[in-house]
Amino acid sequence: MKTYQLKQNLTQVYENYTQEDFTVWKLLFERQLELLQNLAADEYLQALEKIGFTASKIPDFKETNGLLDKSTGWKLEVVEGIINESDFFELLSKKRFPATTWLRKLNELDYLPEPDMFHDVFGHVPLLIEPKFSAFFEGFGKLGVKYKDEPQIVQMLGRIYWFTIEFGLVKSEGQLKIYGAGILSSHGESKYSVSKEPSHLKFDAKTIMHTAFENDKIQDKYFVIESFDQLYESMPLIQQVIFESMAVI
């Protein structure tokens, strides 16, 4: 997967969106929201409503940044695509989330070689206004900055990111619900993730940090948190596992 260099002062040029772009956003938004009404975490659905995203309008980053800044201090940083780990950690540590501004085409609604704006914005951005989740995200970024020159630690942090922020599930009133952006933005994986087909494992940071994943296929296992409080409160254990690992590197 191609990695892009982080460039300064990139902006969303809203007037460049085409009618196809608006059609794609509307189709993706409507079908995914219908699916997620009974599958997504309540926190996500409430955050989506608060942030004001609708099917009829591609989000305007200036408006979104105003809402994020007032709630948790986060902002969107426009990028061309996936950036390197060091830049990614640096942005998160400063409460900046890297987001693309391009949308997939009508003939590729269900498969992309790399994440587009629908994944980045519909999947990730709403929960940035949730205090505990966004604090966990920021703390994750700060750890990444601190250990960016330690490949083994970066790999372990990547696993935390993958099994929580991208593909995490939460148990709510006895039911599995989705909060990971990779699932929230995926029509095919939403129902599958909470079905009986994959494994659902109790959240444990140490286990996750030693669990490999494959990023080019649908997941066969998901880790389940009890609440966003549990996710936020896992930071000390994550740091402890890092200390233990550093001792043997």
What's the mean pLDDT in 176-186? 97
For the chain, which residues make up each domain, given as ranges?
14-244
pLDDT(217) > 90: no
* 227 CB neighbour count, 10 Å cutoff: 15
Higher pLDDT, 200 or 108: 200
pLDDT(1) > 70: no
- Give residue 144's pLDDT band: very low, low, confident or very high (50, 70, 90): very high
What is the pLDDT at residue 125?
98
Contacts 24+ apart (CB under 8 A), 96-99: 97/124, 97/125, 97/128, 97/137, 98/6, 99/61, 99/124, 99/125
Can you give the three-state secondary structure of 156-201, one letter per residue?
HHHHHHHHHHHCCEEEECCEEEECCHHHHCCHHHHHHHCCCCCEEE
Measure Cα distances from 227 to 128, 129, 172, 209 in Å.
Answer: 16, 16, 8, 19
Assigned architecture for domain 14-244: Orthogonal Bundle (1.10)
Q: Are 55 and 29 in contact (CB under 8 A)?
A: yes
103-123: pLDDT as tens digits: 999 999 887 778 899 999 999
What is the pLDDT at residue 22?
98
Q: Are 192 and 214 in contact (CB under 8 A)?
A: no
pLDDT(173) > 80: yes
Measure Cα distances from 205 to 47, 193, 194, 222, 234 in Å.
Answer: 25, 20, 20, 13, 7
Q: What's the Rg (C-alpha) of the chain?
A: 17
What's the mean pLDDT in 188-200? 96
What is the pLDDT at residue 112?
76
